[in-house]
């Protein structure tokens, strides 16, 4: 009995380590330089760098939720990247992301999911922002615009939560 429990514990530990290894660690924002405009999700914990040359709009909801819309144009057509965060967002992947290429991201205190869908003529991506809750997404955009939006999403970094206890 003891050896079966030990074996099961070892398997569970190995699976957890394998899952953590697939997660992409994101850097501290203090270690990055943003040549564009830094934008922060709610609480200011997570941050993206928005380069020059794209249109950025920010709206704050009545409950303190933050909505960014980043617009890029290609051949007269515009596409949007939406970054939303606040206390009332689930931080879960929506149904349309089923079957995506799914990976995780992590910081010392936070983690989330990064889901990519690549079609022949369009791309979609959904990133959960679990600090506290939110998402970043674009859907069905041309590959060239997806590459621009991916640079923004890949700039994700973390800040220490202000006022946190325990040395953090």
* 132 or 108, which is more confident: 108
Tell me what percent of the residues of the chain surpass a pLDDT of 70: 81
Q: How far apart are CA 144 and CA 97, in angstroms?
A: 21
Q: H helices within the chain, ranges in order? A: 2-22, 143-153
Q: Which segment of 21-25, 98-102, 146-150, 156-160 scores lowest on mean pLDDT?
A: 21-25
Q: What are 18-74's pLDDT values in tens digits?
A: 344 468 899 999 998 999 999 988 678 899 999 988 899 999 988 888 999 999 999
If you average pLDDT over residues 124-131, what whole number do you get? 88
* 129 or 56, which is more confident: 56
What pLDDT, on the 0 to 100 scale, is given for residue 163?
60
The structure's pTM equals 0.81
Tell me what percent of the residues of the chain surpass a pLDDT of 90: 57
**Unique residue bearing structure tokens 């617009």:** 71
As given in the structure block, the two tokens for residue 5 are 């429990």
What pLDDT, on the 0 to 100 scale, is given for residue 22?
67
What pLDDT, on the 0 to 100 scale, is given for residue 16?
40
Question: What are the structural domains, with CATH classification, of the chain?
Answer: 25-158 (3.40.1000)
DSSP 8-state assignment for residue 28: B
Q: Please name the residues in contact with 166: beta carbons below 8 A apart, sequence gap of 6 or more.
A: none
Give long-range contacts, CB 8 A cutoff, 24+ apart: 106-113.
106/20, 106/23, 106/24, 106/25, 106/26, 107/25, 107/26, 107/28, 107/158, 108/158, 109/45, 109/158, 109/161, 109/168, 110/45, 110/46, 110/158, 111/23
Q: What are phi and psi of 12, to 5 degrees?
A: -65, -40
Q: Is residue 39 within 8 Å of 48, Cβ to Cβ?
A: yes
What pLDDT, on the 0 to 100 scale, is given for residue 167?
42
Q: What are 71-94's pLDDT values in tens digits?
A: 999 999 999 999 999 877 777 899
DSSP 8-state assignment for residue 29: G
Q: Please name the residues in contact with 24: beta carbons below 8 A apart, sequence gap of 6 or more.
A: 103, 104, 105, 106, 114
If you average pLDDT over residues 139-156, what whole number do you get? 96
């Amino acid at each position: 009995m003891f050896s079966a429990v030990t074996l099961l514990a070892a398997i569970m530990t190995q699976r957890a380590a394998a899952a953590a290894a697939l997660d992409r660690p994101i850097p501290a924002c203090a270690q990055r330089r943003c040549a564009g405009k830094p934008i922060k999700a709610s609480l200011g914990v997570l941050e993206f760098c928005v380069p020059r040359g794209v249109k950025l709009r920010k709206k704050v909801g009545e409950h303190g939720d933050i909505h960014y819309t980043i617009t890029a144009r290609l051949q007269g057509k515009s596409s949007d990247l939406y970054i939303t965060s606040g206390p009332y967002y689930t931080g879960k992947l929506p149904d349309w992301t089923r079957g995506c290429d799914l990976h995780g991201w992590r910081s010392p205190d936070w983690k989330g999911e990064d889901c990519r869908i690549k079609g022949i003529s369009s791309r979609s991506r959904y990133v959960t922002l679990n600090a506290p809750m939110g998402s970043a997404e674009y859907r069905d955009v041309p590959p060239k615009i997806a590459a621009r939006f991916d640079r923004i999403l890949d700039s994700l970094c973390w800040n220490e939560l202000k006022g946190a206890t325990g040395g953090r």
